[in-house]
Amino acid sequence: MSKQLITENRPWGSFTVFDEKDNHKLKRLIVNPHSKLSLQLHHLRSEHWFVVSGVAEVEINGIIDILEPGQTIHVPQGIKHRLTNNKDFPLEIIEIQFGNHLEENDIIRFEDIYGRELNYENAC
């Protein structure tokens, strides 16, 4: 019997976890038009993003890249990053997380347009 997939909604869109093991997690992110994730970092994991559809504005350590379908980028552990969709249509990303702790509580937020709690005081 296959596992039922659960989608979690966020202010910027949603994510669905497709696979999770001890050291990796595979997700699909849908970023709504004109939305962005918080400027954040993770102490215990790295991420790799693959653009499926849409156009991604990716900020990693203050450097902005534009990615189109078929392009990928690696987000190293401990580096500030953000994903933005400035277009009028959804952005679909496949995200692979690598590390020993892959839970949502490993998010250190520095900026957030949705009013979620910032917790960067504990970032170092």
Encode pLDDT of 73-115 as tens digits.
Answer: 999 999 999 999 999 999 999 999 999 888 877 888 999 999 8
- CB neighbour class for 8 (10 Å; exposed up to 12, middle 13-18, buried from 19): exposed
CATH code, domain with 83: 2.60.120.10
The Cα 31–Cα 52 span in angstroms is 12
Encode pLDDT of 38-59 as tens digits.
Answer: 999 999 999 999 999 999 999 9
In a domain? residue 94? yes
In a domain? residue 49? yes
Which position has the token pair 């203050």?
Answer: 62
Q: Is the pTM of this model over 0.85?
A: yes
> Minimal CA–CA distance to 64: which of 93, 36, 29, 104?
36
In a domain? residue 124? no
Q: Which two tokens stand for residue 38?
A: 């918080």
In a domain? residue 65? yes
Domain count within the chain: 1
| pLDDT at position 123 | 56
**Domain of 66?**
7-113
Which position has the token pair 């401990």?
Answer: 78
Model confidence at 1: pLDDT above 60: no
Encode pLDDT of 3-34 as tens digits.
Answer: 788 899 999 999 999 999 989 999 999 999 99
**DSSP string spanning 22-54?**
SSEEEEEEEEPTTEEPPEEE-SSEEEEEEEEES
In a domain? residue 76? yes
In a domain? residue 120? no
